[in-house]
């Protein structure tokens, strides 16, 4: 996005154009043509870009999206609103009064923390993102300052908490090497020597997390969105899984985990539990097993089984109906015998691609079913289950 065009969009004339772009009906070419009668092409492009990005942002940011501003990459990297609100809540619980965001992007996390009443400062290397973040604070009537600066050279000592969300893309695409992040892992390690929070990819290896730092994996409505590293007085445990759903927020830590030896591997019982992805990433599957009075189906597989029925925020539960043949040909015959025409295929720990298997099963019938393909104590197994 062009910085001058964005700044113009914030003027009274620009706001009027943005309002028209939002309310005009018709296909995109018709809307663009009508707007260009009264405005320059670059201004029309800036307005239409914001209309489209606001529409896309609704899933991430809810009602705020209609008043905020975005860049395409800034929206992609922005934290989902419920996750940002959870992080801001943790910071408020620790009495955070001053907060610096080292690489603030379009300001999603700044907005969440500013709403707690903390004094917030954001910096970023990109002047466009800085302008967008400042506009977002203003649009939502929140205080805070934003400026162009290099996070690696900033003295963060005046702030209670420093926060960073390193970019995980290079010129050749997304990178999984921590030292290729911007700022790099060496900077993150230095930052974690004080009271800090760093947002990282959910796939971060456990052995990369420094001693004394809490790693928290967060899922929002079943999707693992991020891991966050908490250091200094903000770290309260080693590993944590936080699950955000329609019923609120629940959290599980390594202190709730008795370990694999305590729960063990057992035969499949009346119920099967599929732990949330955040639980799996945090290595807390055996904590779920303990919570449902069950055990593992296999020491290397993240499924839990029990003879008891539980509703848990940390796992989805299924009633085990019966075991079906694991091999494809007899499985196809078994599904036809049961009149299954619509099939949900869940799998863990087996070399199966559901999108490829489903058409080969040649499903016929009106019944709907769910099968789980996995290993039970090392043996390939297919279970017919019913969600509850």
- Is residue 279 very low, low, confident or very high in pLDDT (cuts 50, 70, 90)? very high
Q: How far apart are CA 346 and CA 374, in angstroms?
A: 8
Give pLDDT, residue 181: 81
pLDDT digits (tens, 9 = 90+) for 174-195: 666 777 788 889 999 999 999 9
Q: How far apart are CA 210 and CA 366, in angstroms?
A: 54
pLDDT digits (tens, 9 = 90+) for 305-319: 999 999 999 999 999
Question: pTM to 2 decimals?
Answer: 0.92
Q: Domain spanning 75-252: which CATH class is it, in words?
A: alpha beta
* Domain range annotation of the chain: 3-67, 75-252, 260-387
Strand partners, 243: 219, 250
Region 283-289 average pLDDT? 98
Centre a 10 Å sphere on the Cβ of residue 57 and count the other Cβ atoms it contains. 23
- Is residue 161 very low, low, confident or very high in pLDDT (cuts 50, 70, 90)? very high
pLDDT digits (tens, 9 = 90+) for 46-94: 999 999 999 999 999 999 999 999 999 999 999 999 999 999 999 999 9
The two domains 75-252 and 260-387 share their CATH topology (first three levels equal):
no
Region 85-111 average pLDDT? 97
Q: How far apart are CA 35 and CA 20, in angstroms?
A: 8
pLDDT digits (tens, 9 = 90+) for 301-354: 999 999 999 999 999 999 999 999 999 999 999 999 999 999 999 999 999 999
What kind of fold does domain 260-387 have according to CATH?
VC0802-like (3.30.2130)
Query: What's the chain's Rg over C-alpha atoms?
Result: 25
Q: How far apart are CA 361 and CA 183, in angstroms?
A: 49
Q: Which residues of 106-118 are buried (b: 16+ CB within 10 A; e: fewer)?
A: bbbbbbbbbbbeb
C-alpha dihedral sign at 338, 340, 344, 348: positive
Phi, psi (degrees; rounded to nearest 5) at 252: -135, 140
pLDDT above 80 for 216: yes
Q: How far apart are CA 111 and CA 60, in angstroms?
A: 14
Give pLDDT, residue 72: 95
Asked if 21 contacts 44 with a C-beta cutoff of 8 angstroms, the reply is: yes
Query: Counting every residue, how long is the chain?
Result: 388
Asked if 365 contacts 334 with a C-beta cutoff of 8 angstroms, the reply is: no
SS3 assignment for the chain: CCHHHHHHHCCHHHHHHHHHHHHCCCCHHHHHHHHCCCCCHHHHHHHHHHHHHHHHHHHHHHHHHHCCCCCHHHHHHCCCHHHHHHHHHHHHHCCCCEEEEECCCCCHHHHHHHCCCCEEEEEECCHHHHHHHHHHHHHCCCCCEEEECCHHHCCCCCCCEEEECCECEECCEECCCHHHCECCHHHHHHHCCCCEEEEECCCCCHHHCCCCCEEEEEEECCEEEEEEEECHHHCCCCEEEEEEECCEEEEEEHHHCCCHHHHCECCCCCEEEEECHHHHHCCCHHHHHHHCCCEECCCCCCCEEECCCCCECCEEEEEEEEEECCCHHHHHHHHHHCCEEEEEEEECCCCCCHHHHHHHCCCCCCEEEEEEEEEECCEEEEEEEEEC
The pLDDT > 70 percentage for the chain reads 98
């Amino acid at each position: 996005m062009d910085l001058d065009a964005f700044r113009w969009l914030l003027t009274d004339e620009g706001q009027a154009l943005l309002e028209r772009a939002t309310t005009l009906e018709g296909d995109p070419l018709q809307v663009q043509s009508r707007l260009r009668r009264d405005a320059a092409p670059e201004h029309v492009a800036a307005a239409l870009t914001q209309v489209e990005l606001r529409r896309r942002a609704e899933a991430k940011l809810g009602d705020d999206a209609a008043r905020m501003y975005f860049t395409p990459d800034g929206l992609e990297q922005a934290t989902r609103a419920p996750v940002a609100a959870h992080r801001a809540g943790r910071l408020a619980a620790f009495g955070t009064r001053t907060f610096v965001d080292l690489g603030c992007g379009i300001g999603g996390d700044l907005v969440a923390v500013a709403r707690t009443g903390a004094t917030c400062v954001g910096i970023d290397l990109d002047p466009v993102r800085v302008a967008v973040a400042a506009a977002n604070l203003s649009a939502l009537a929140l205080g805070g300052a934003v400026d162009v600066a290099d996070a690696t050279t900033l003295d963060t000592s005046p702030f209670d908490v420093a926060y960073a969300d390193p970019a995980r893309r290079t010129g050749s695409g997304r990178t999984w090497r921590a030292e290729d992040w911007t700022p790099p892992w060496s900077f993150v390690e230095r930052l974690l020597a004080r009271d800090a929070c760093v947002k990282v990819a959910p796939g971060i290896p456990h052995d990369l997390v420094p001693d004394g730092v809490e790693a928290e994996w967060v899922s929002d409505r079943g999707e693992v969105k991020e891991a966050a590293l908490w250091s200094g007085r903000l770290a309260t445990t080693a590993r944590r899984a936080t699950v955000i759903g329609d019923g609120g927020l629940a959290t599980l830590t390594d202190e709730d985990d008795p370990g694999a030896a305590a729960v063990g591997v057992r035969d499949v019982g009346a119920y099967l539990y599929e732990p949330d992805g955040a639980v799996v990433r945090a290595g807390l599957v055996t904590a779920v097993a303990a919570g449902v009075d069950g055990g593992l189906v296999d020491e290397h597989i993240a499924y839990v089984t029990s003879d008891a029925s539980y509703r848990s925020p940390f796992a989805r539960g299924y009633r085990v109906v019966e075991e079906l043949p694991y091999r494809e040909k007899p499985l196809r015959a078994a599904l036809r015998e049961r009149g299954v025409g619509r099939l949900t295929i869940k799998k863990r720990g087996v070399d199966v691609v559901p999108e490829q298997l489903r058409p080969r099963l040649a499903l016929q019938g009106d019944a709907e079913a769910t099968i789980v393909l996995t290993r039970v104590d090392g043996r390939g197994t297919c279970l017919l289950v019913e969600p509850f």
